[in-house]
Amino acid sequence: MINRVVLGMAAGILLIALEAMKERTSYIEGFTLTGDQASDIGMVCGGDVTVYFQYISPEDSAVRCV
């Protein structure tokens, strides 16, 4: 069973990634998991995470060879 806290954070990350592709830009976004949210998913404590969303153009020849 997927927890609503994890699902909510994952959905937020997915929406930002889609926005980065649409706008052809990169983003840095922070997310906070409170102590109560952490205990809901079996973690000992909460914390902060920073996610870097980097837009990479499909036309970028350096990326196509990877």
pLDDT tens-digit readout, 19-63: 999 999 999 988 887 777 666 666 667 778 888 999 998 888 877
Dist CA 5 CA 2 (whole Å)? 9
- φ, ψ of residue 20 to 5 degrees: the values are -60, -40
Residue 51, helix vs strand vs coil:
strand
Residue 1, Cα to own-chain centre: how many angstroms?
Answer: 20
Residue 41, helix vs strand vs coil:
coil
Q: What is the pTM of this model?
A: 0.67
